[in-house]
Amino acid sequence: MSSNPRIQTTVTPPVRIQQNILARSERRLLNWICPRLPGWVTPDQLTILGFLGAVLVAAGYILSWQDSEWLGLSLVGYIVNWFGDSLDGSLARWRRIERPAYGYFVDHSVDAAATLLMISAIGMSPYLRLDVALMGVIGYFLLSIHTFLSAKVVGEFRLSYMAGGPTELRLMLMAMTMAMPVVGGGDIRGTNFSPFDLFGLFVASILVTLFVVQSFALARTLRARGN
């Protein structure tokens, strides 16, 4: 029992909704990995590993000023980040050692820090402007806020939008990273934007639009229910 009576220790986890393209294949892979992990591996360790993957991603982008081959470190980092971030909750559920309040708070807090680190670092590379990268972060965080609010008011935690989720986003960023040395970071003639800047603005606009559309749709639903 908590020593602080204001802290709620019983939390009913929201229903997870995951309809991204790779959801079923990814779930089968995670279910295959979980029973094969050593007993000493814990969900908390996997959460830390996921954040260390984000650090590798950021380091690769920043070091790409010296040599584009450092982008390979970012690619490795994305894989490490996926492994840790995708398996921490999966392992807890597999072993039936979930801590809904603790896990929800820590996992998403670390995810937010990792996202800020990785995407901001892309803006510190020679290929993408920092302001454009931060617009992408803002769009992602707005959609995340909508997800967390939805989990509170309707009990649904949506992990995907437009058939895309965190795994698809990582794959998109990995594909963009592999294209960086080929396309280069030079500005398109007559603009101050590289091709990757324009792509970043396009992605950021989609994220913000999704936030607006989904927020209005949920508000109408709640109003119709009289909530």
Mean pLDDT of the chain: 89
Q: Is the pLDDT of residue 12 over 70?
A: no
Top pLDDT among 122 and 184 is at: 122
The answer as to whether 4 is a domain residue is no
Task: Output the pLDDT for position 187.
Answer: 84
Q: Range of 205's domain? A: 15-225
Task: Output the pLDDT for position 6.
Answer: 55
Top pLDDT among 53 and 153 is at: 53
- The residue count of the chain comes to 227
CA distance linking residue 227 with residue 223, whole number of Å? 6
Q: Is the pLDDT of residue 206 over 80?
A: yes
The answer as to whether 20 is a domain residue is yes
Task: Output the pLDDT for position 16.
Answer: 72
Instruction: Note the helical H segments in the chain.
Output: 23-33, 43-63, 71-95, 100-122, 130-153, 166-183, 195-225
Answer whether 21's CB lies under 8 Å from 168's CB: yes
Contacts with 105 (C-beta within 8 Å, 6 or more apart), sequence order? none
Taking the C-alpha atoms of 98, 99, 105 and 108 in order, what is their torsion angle to the nearest 10 degrees? -10
What is the pTM (predicted TM-score) of this model?
A: 0.88
The answer as to whether 164 is a domain residue is yes
pLDDT in tens, 36-81: 999 999 999 999 999 999 999 999 999 999 999 999 999 999 999 9
Instruction: Average the pLDDT over each of 34-38, 173-177, 192-196 and give the range with the smallest value.
Output: 192-196
The answer as to whether 102 is a domain residue is yes
Task: Output the pLDDT for position 2.
Answer: 44
CA distance linking residue 54 with residue 81, whole number of Å? 6
Task: Output the pLDDT for position 34.
Answer: 95
Instruction: Average the pLDDT over each of 79-93, 124-138, 156-170, 182-196 and give the range with the smallest value.
Output: 156-170
Q: Is the pLDDT of residue 181 over 50?
A: yes
| Mean pLDDT confidence for 117-136 | 95
CATH, residue 162: 1.20.120.1760
Q: Is the pLDDT of residue 8 over 60?
A: no
Q: Is the pLDDT of residue 22 over 90?
A: no
Question: Which of 81, 88, 87 is closest to 113 using CA atoms?
Answer: 81
The answer as to whether 2 is a domain residue is no
Structural domains counted in the chain: 1
Task: Output the pLDDT for position 92.
Answer: 93
The answer as to whether 53 is a domain residue is yes
Answer whether 143's CB lies under 8 Å from 211's CB: yes
Given pLDDT bands bounded at 50, 70 and 90, which one contains residue 1?
very low
The answer as to whether 157 is a domain residue is yes
The residue assigned the tokens 């639009």 is 209
The answer as to whether 204 is a domain residue is yes
End-to-end CA distance of the chain: 32
The residue assigned the tokens 């392992």 is 91
